[in-house]
Amino acid sequence: MNGLEYIKLAFTALRTNKVRSLLTMLGIIIGVASVILLVSIGTGLQNFGKDVNPVGKTLPINGVQFEISGVLKSKGGGGAMGSADDFAAIPLTTAMRQFDRTRPYMIFVEVIDSEHASQAKEDAERILAKRLKDDEFSVMEQTQLLDTINQFLGVITAALGGIAAISLVVGGIGIMNIMLVSVTERTREIGLRKAVGAKPEDIMMQFLIESVFLSLFGGGLGIGLGALGSMAINMFIKTSITAWSVLMAFGFSAGIGIVFGVAPAIRASRLDPIDALRYE
């Protein structure tokens, strides 16, 4: 038999058992799609804001357009006053003119390290107390939370990566199961094919082509579904598809599909035709 005949034979068998073919592909599709989607969410979170360069753009504050002259290094943090990154700095005199103030109402003080924070707070209170009444000011200490958001994002990414790995394994087991079951289920068919003259390699080739096609086509659909899902989520939060997640998910699922499609087929192709025919 030539290659084209084998391909025809395999596709006839796939068409004949549409439900089984679809179910087999479904495992691969979901496995691949979930990995791509979850990794794209994790990567998107990590890259949040990194890909935008705001310098030179204008930003309206209270109806007045300000040109952005630079971006401060991210500090991270949170707490009583919100994130330490969550502010825009403008010249003091401009601010007093634009916002109709005669004096600043908030002063940020940067401390060398967190151990000196309470000392700095006391110093600030002492200095301010000399000029202002007690109820005219308050000093708040913000605990240094450098990299907290990054740590948080790291945890989220790790969690998503873990979920992706689990779905890959679960998907892989699904593929493995359905491949093993479908070959076992077809033992009688294999017996009959051998009885009417199929050589061991004829059986092998048919199953090889079937499982390669299901794995590759299912993997391709999985990439499509993962990309679509990632685009859909991108409307709400930033996602970013990475090549390595696509390759890994596709390679892993397709590999499992092919290995567990072919291994039982090899066994089946070596079966005694009568044993296979008698198989219930």
Contact set with another protein (CB under 8 A): 1-2, 5, 8-9, 12, 16-17, 188-189, 191-202, 272-274, 277
Residue number, 196 or 243, with CB nearest to another protein = 196
CB of 180 to another protein, least distance (A): 20
Contact of 268 with 192, CB cutoff 8 Å: no
Considering the complex, state which of residue 32 and residue 198 has its C-beta at the smaller distance from another protein: 198
Q: Give me the least distance between CB of 273 and another protein, in Å please.
A: 5
Residue whose CB is less far from another protein, 86 or 275: 275
CB-CB contact of 228 with 19 (8 Å): no
**How far is the C-alpha of 88 from the C-alpha of 32, rounded, in Å?**
43
Cβ 183 vs Cβ 207: under 8 Å? yes
Mapping DSSP to helix (H, G, I), strand (E, B) and coil, where does residue 63 land?
coil
Q: How far is the CB of 271 from another protein (least distance, A)?
A: 11
Minimum distance from residue 265 beta carbon to another protein (Å): 16
Least CB distance from residue 34 to another protein, whole Å? 32
Cβ proximity to another protein: between 1 and 155 the closer is 1
Nearest CA-CA partner of 38 in 154, 155, 164, 162: 164
Given the complex with another protein, which of 137 and 279 has the nearer CB atom? 279
**In the complex, what is the shortest distance from the CB of residue 8 to another protein, in angstroms, rounded to a whole number?**
8
Identify which of residues 85 and 202 has a Cβ nearer to another protein in the complex. 202
DSSP code, position 102: S
Tokens read off for 143: 């605990």
Query: Quick one: CA torsion of 97, 99, 103, 105, rounded to 10 degrees?
Result: -150
CA gap 89, 57 in Å, rounded:
15
> Residue 246 CB, nearest distance to another protein (Å)?
35
Closest approach, Cβ 274 to another protein, in A, equals: 5
Would you state the structure tokens that stand for residue 108, as one six-digit string? 């940020």
Cα–chain center distance at 117: 39
Sequence-separated (6 or more) residues with CB below 8 Å from residue 124: 109, 139
Decide if 219 contacts 253 (C-beta within 8 A): yes
Strands 64-67 and 58-61: antiparallel
Between 243-270 and 148-185, two packed helices, what is the crossing angle to 10 degrees?
Answer: 20
Nearer to another protein, 193 or 238 (CB): 193
Identify which of residues 147 and 202 has a Cβ nearer to another protein in the complex: 202
